[in-house]
A and B are shown apart, each in its own frame.
Chain A
Amino acid sequence: MLTANNTMRITQIVNVHSESPSVKTYTFLDKLCSVARPGQFLMLWIPGIDEIPLSIMDATNGLVSVSVKVVGDATRHLHSFEAGATIGIRGPFGKGFTESQGRVLLVGGGTGIAPLMFLAKQLRTKTEHLAFVEGAKTKEELLFVNELGGMCQEKNLITTTEDGTAGLQCLVTQPLASLLEKEHFDMIYTCGPEIMVKKIFEITEHHKLPLEASLERLMRCGIGLCGSCMIGKYRVCRDGPVFTTDQLREVKDELGISKIGFDGSRIPI
């Protein structure tokens, strides 16, 4: 029920964990978000400062975790918070990933790996084969490498960096393309920058494989009222953030190309 989920709950951060120089994971108690599905998101209120959308990275036993990268004033402020700090939570919102069986591949870019971590935890006992491709700009931004390695066999984790400080020196799309030439997968999941998602969509279309992609757009209300996050006829916050292959085909003229800016005009991505 949206009304209950949309009601702001005030809670305290119970744990802060540093993942990289620019990413911290915050854990707090929240009953409603602790039953969220992978791919869903929440709105986190930094009292008196801002409210930001965040993918849920983990949810278990009433505890919820989100991984936050410093990208602006609000996230910089949040990064100064320690355990015990007060925050407000709305959510969970949106449509998450669907579960699938068989051979599954997860492709994450930057902090886009966070919702895929949550998904992988649920899929690992249900799938026959789990593989990851993870990419980042540089070694210290490759998140959760140990955790991911533990969830699949090490040979099934491919990492890439743009500067070659770890893994292969390339974009995630490169090993993905060669992997799909060699192996079959029943489902591919992705989350990351929209330009990356667009390229992955083109690759999976070429191989006629199903894809579920989590998109990120300017998000204000989180409930489908304001229209800030629209892509085509879809509201990313309500109809997404996870989109299927069929839906991605409908919005391919905008995917990775243009989005709606703060003033409602279409701007290039």
Chain B
Amino acid sequence: MENSPLSTTLAGLQLSNPTMLASGITGYSAESFLRVAKGGAGAIVTKSVSTQPRIGYANPIVVQAEAGLLNAVGLPNPGIDIFAEEIKYTKTLLHVPLIVSIFGYSAEEYTIAAKKAVDAGADAIELNVSCPHVKQTGAEIGQSPQLLSEVVQQVKAAIDRTLIVKLSPNVTDIGVLAQIAVEAGADALTAVNTLRALAIDPETQLPILSNIKGGLSGSAVKPVALRCVYDIAEVVDVPIIGCGGISNWQDTVEFFLAGASAVQIGTAVVNDMEVFCAITKGVDTYLRKKHYESVKEIVGRAHRK
């Protein structure tokens, strides 16, 4: 894969191709990560894990929107101590980087969970400071410049692996928070998590999700996510991982042009576990047709004046 135009290095992570499974999709187990890797993903981001187990929300946890999907699963996870065993087992089988997504209710909790994930063999940590539907964590941290800075600094000081920070689009100026995350030590940024959203049924006059509010993903959010990546690329120099509504190679190329060095795919994987293969093939053809030798050459091309 050395000579492939798609192979790239992202903040120290060697990627055979720049597509990744986004956090929160399909599973907790080594078997599910392997299946996604067989579908062509260049890296796997796990569901978000915390220091303590969490059961998540009651059903309904998903609602189909017109061009997307609302979800409020509620960050169910077995806790890092149990998940560490799955990380160890996964690492004996998986041939692409394993990025462990972490959340907590304080900088200390983020740090403890991140450290345990690294000790178990995680190749990188992605901080979930952007989940829009769980109180006192996720976006409630990522929307606060002070808390965001504190969490990123503490985790950065505690681990010696690539630290990725996943940002929320539910902010006034994502560029400001991107700069804060980078100043605090983020090696790369993922942009973006889901958009806070709501679904109401007119017949019963009730919100459908048990948690009332959820996060919107899928095609509907792509233009917002693309704008976020563009804004962030204007103000920081670390690699950006584009995420939000990507389902084909054209979407992927748009994110590269906006400034992303890699992409994460979530909602589109639900329908097609092999979407990564289709995307890398399409991007490869695009690069060859346009006479580029590496995907790196098109990163941020839309910013040229």
Interface residues of A (CB under 8 A from B): 2-3, 6-8, 10, 43, 45, 47-48, 50-52, 86, 88, 90, 220-228, 230, 232-233, 235, 260-266
Contact = CB atoms under 8 A, between A and B. Distances in A.
B204 A10 contact: yes
Contacts of A50: 58-59, 210
The 5 lowest CB-CB distance pairs between A and B, nearest first, are: A265-B78, A51-B59, A227-B27, A262-B55, A6-B64
B282 interface: no
B32 A224 contact: no
B287 to A, nearest CB: 31
A223 to B, nearest CB: 6
Contact of A264 (B25, B28, B58, B270): B28
A15 to B, nearest CB: 20
A263 B29 contact: no
Contacts of A43: 59-60
Per DSSP, chain B at the interface is loop
Contacts of B197: none
B59 A260 contact: no
Contact of A8 (B53, B64, B73): B64
Interface of B: 24-29, 31-32, 34-35, 47, 53-56, 58-64, 69, 71, 73, 76-79, 82-83, 201, 203-204, 206, 208, 210, 267, 270-271
B61 A47 contact: no
24 contacts: A2-B271, A6-B62, A8-B60, A8-B64, A43-B59, A88-B208, A220-B56, A220-B59, A220-B61, A220-B73, A223-B62, A223-B270, A225-B26, A225-B69, A226-B73, A226-B76, A227-B47, A230-B28, A260-B28, A262-B56, A263-B56, A263-B79, A264-B78, A265-B53
Contacts of B47: 227, 264
A8 B53 CA distance: 31
Contacts, number: 113
A225 B29 CA distance: 14
B208 A225 contact: no
A50 B204 CA distance: 14
Nearest to B271: A2
Per DSSP, chain A at the interface is loop
B71 A221 contact: yes
Nearest to B33: A233
A47 B201 contact: yes
Nearest to A4: B64
B31 A48 contact: no
A265 to B, nearest CB: 3
B56 to A, nearest CB: 7
A39 B101 CA distance: 36
A76 to B, nearest CB: 15
Given A8-B64, A265-B82, 20 more contacts: A6-B62, A10-B201, A10-B203, A47-B201, A47-B204, A48-B206, A50-B210, A51-B60, A52-B59, A220-B59, A225-B25, A225-B62, A226-B76, A233-B32, A233-B35, A260-B28, A262-B56, A262-B76, A263-B55, A265-B79
